Chains A and B, each alone.
Chain A
Amino acid sequence: MANTQHSIAVLFAPDVVHGPTSIFSPAGTPAHSIFGLSMLVLGVALCVFVIVGGLLAYAIIRYRHRRHDVKAGEEPAQIYGSNQIELSWTVIPVLIVAMLVLSSARVIYSTQQAAKPTAALDVIVIGHQFWWEYRYPKLGIVTANELHVPVSDPRHPTPTYLTLSSADTDHSFWIPRLAGKTDLIPNRVNIMWIDPPTAGLYLGQCAQFCGAQHAKMLLRVYADSPEEFSNWVKRQRDPVKEDPNTVEGEAVFQHNACISCHTVAGTVATGRFGPDLTHVASRDTIGSGAVLNTPANLRLFVDNPAHFKPGALMPPMHLNEHDLDAVTAYLLTLK
Chain B
Amino acid sequence: MDGTLVEAEEIALRNSALQVLHNWVTTVDHKKIGLMYIGSSLLFLVIAGIEALVMRIQLAIPNNTFVSPQAFNRLFTMHGTTMVFFVGMSILFGFGNYLIPLMIGARDMAFPRLNAFSFWCTFFGGVLLYFSYVGGNGLSGAGSAPDVGWWAYAPLTARPFSPGHSTDYWTLAVLLSGVSSIGSAVNIVTTVVSMRCPGMTLGRMPLLVWLYTVMSMMAFVTVSPLTAAQIMLMLDRYVGSHFFDTQAGGSAVLWMHFFWIFGHPEVYILIMPAFAFANEIIPVFSRKAIFGYPAMVAASVGIGFVSLSVWAHHMFTVGMSAGANTFFVLATLTVAIPTGIKIFNWLATLWGGKIHFTTPMLFAIGFLFQFLLAGLTGVMVGAAPFDWQLSGSYFVVAHFHYVLVGAILFMLFAAFYYWYPKMTGRMANEALGKWHFWLFLIGFHVTFDFMHIPGILGMPRRIYTYEAERGWMVWNLIVSSGALIQAVATLIFVWNLIWSYFKGPLAGPDPWDAWTLEWSTSSPPPEYNFAITPVVESRRPLWDLKHPEDSDSYYE
Contact = CB atoms under 8 A, between A and B. Distances in A.
Interface majority SS on A: helix, strand, loop or mixed? mixed
A31 B330 CA distance: 22
Interface in B239-290: 246-247, 249-253, 286-289
A215 B369 CA distance: 34
Interface string A85-119: 11001100110110011011101110111000000
A180 B388 contact: yes
Contacts of B321: 112
A250 interface: no
A310 B69 contact: yes
Contacts of B147: 212
B288 A211 contact: no
Nearest to A36: B385
B287 A76 contact: yes
Interface stretch (A57-65, A133-141, A223-231, A314-322): A57-65
B347 A19 contact: no
Contacts of B498: none
A20 interface: yes
B380 A45 contact: yes
Contact of B333 (A78, A97, A187, A204): A97
Contacts of A96: 336
Interface stretch (A169-177, A234-242, A266-274): A169-177
A6 B287 CA distance: 46
A106 to B, nearest CB: 9
A116 B552 CA distance: 67
30 contacts: A17-B453, A19-B472, A20-B470, A21-B470, A23-B456, A24-B456, A41-B383, A41-B386, A49-B376, A52-B344, A56-B372, A63-B352, A82-B292, A100-B333, A169-B153, A176-B389, A180-B388, A181-B388, A181-B391, A191-B319, A203-B458, A208-B153, A208-B317, A209-B149, A209-B462, A212-B69, A215-B69, A215-B466, A310-B69, A311-B69
B341 interface: yes
A169 B155 contact: yes
Contacts of B330: 101
B380 A183 contact: no
B294 interface: yes
A107 to B, nearest CB: 4
B337 A90 contact: yes
Interface string A10-38: 00010011011111100000000110011
Nearest to B383: A104
B356 interface: yes
B112 interface: no
B291 A80 contact: yes
Interface of B: 68-70, 73, 147, 149, 153, 155-156, 161, 246-247, 249-253, 286-289, 291-295, 317-319, 321-322, 325-326, 329-330, 333-334, 336-337, 340-341, 343-345, 347-348, 350-357, 365, 368-369, 372-373, 376-377, 379-380, 383-393, 453, 456-466, 469-472, 547, 550, 552, 555
Contact of A77 (B352, B356, B457): B352
Given A89-B344, A209-B156, A20 B326 contact: no
A64 B392 contact: no
Contacts of B377: 45
Contacts of A101: 326, 329-330, 333
B207 to A, nearest CB: 13
Contacts of A205: 458, 460, 463
Nearest to B291: A81
A311 to B, nearest CB: 5
A41 B329 CA distance: 13
A21 B458 CA distance: 5
Contacts of B458: 19-23, 174, 176, 203-205
Contact of B318 (A63, A97, A185): A185
Nearest to A49: B376
A59 B462 contact: no
A57 to B, nearest CB: 8
A21 B380 CA distance: 19
Contacts of B317: 172, 180-183, 207-208
Given A52-B347, A76-B352, A209-B153, 8 more contacts: A34-B388, A41-B379, A80-B292, A112-B325, A187-B252, A205-B463, A208-B317, A212-B69
B293 A52 contact: no
A23 to B, nearest CB: 4
B334 A112 contact: no
A53 interface: yes
Contacts of A203: 458, 470
A209 B462 CA distance: 6
A212 B456 contact: no
Contacts of A261: none
Contacts of A211: 156, 161
Contacts of A52: 343-344, 347, 372
Interface string A293-330: 00000000000000000110000000000000000000
B373 to A, nearest CB: 7
A283 interface: no
Nearest to B250: A187
A247 interface: no
Given A174-B460, A187-B249, A64 B357 contact: yes
Contact of A181 (B293, B365, B373, B389): B389
Interface residues of A, number: 90
Contacts of B393: 207
B384 A86 contact: no
A220 B271 CA distance: 40
Contacts of A17: 453, 456-457
A48 B376 contact: yes
* Residue among B147, B340, B385, B555 facing the most chain A CB atoms (10 A cut-off): B385
Pairs A-B, 7 closest by C-beta atoms:
A180-B388, A21-B458, A215-B463, A190-B319, A186-B246, A19-B471, A81-B292
Interface in A133-182: 164, 168-170, 172, 174, 176, 179-182
Given A55-B347, A81-B294, A180-B388, A104 B326 contact: yes
Contact of B354 (A76, A100, A176): A76
B156 A75 contact: no
Contacts of A24: 456
B473 to A, nearest CB: 11
B322 A108 contact: yes
A199 interface: no
A212 B77 CA distance: 12
A100 B337 contact: no
Nearest to A75: B287
B295 A81 contact: yes
A137 B18 CA distance: 75
Nearest to B475: A16
Given A52-B347, A188-B319, A108 B326 contact: yes
Contacts of B322: 108-109, 112-113
Contacts of A206: 460
B190 to A, nearest CB: 30
Contacts of B463: 205, 214-215
B466 to A, nearest CB: 7
A246 interface: no
B350 A75 contact: no
Contacts of A20: 458, 469-471
Contact of B385 (A34, A53, A86): A34
A210 B384 CA distance: 23
A17 B291 CA distance: 41
B389 A23 contact: yes
Contacts of B340: 89-90, 93
B302 to A, nearest CB: 10
A1 interface: no
Contacts of A70: 354
A81 B293 contact: yes
* Residue among B250, B372, B386 facing the most chain A CB atoms (10 A cut-off): B386
Nearest to B393: A207
A5 interface: no
B288 A78 contact: yes
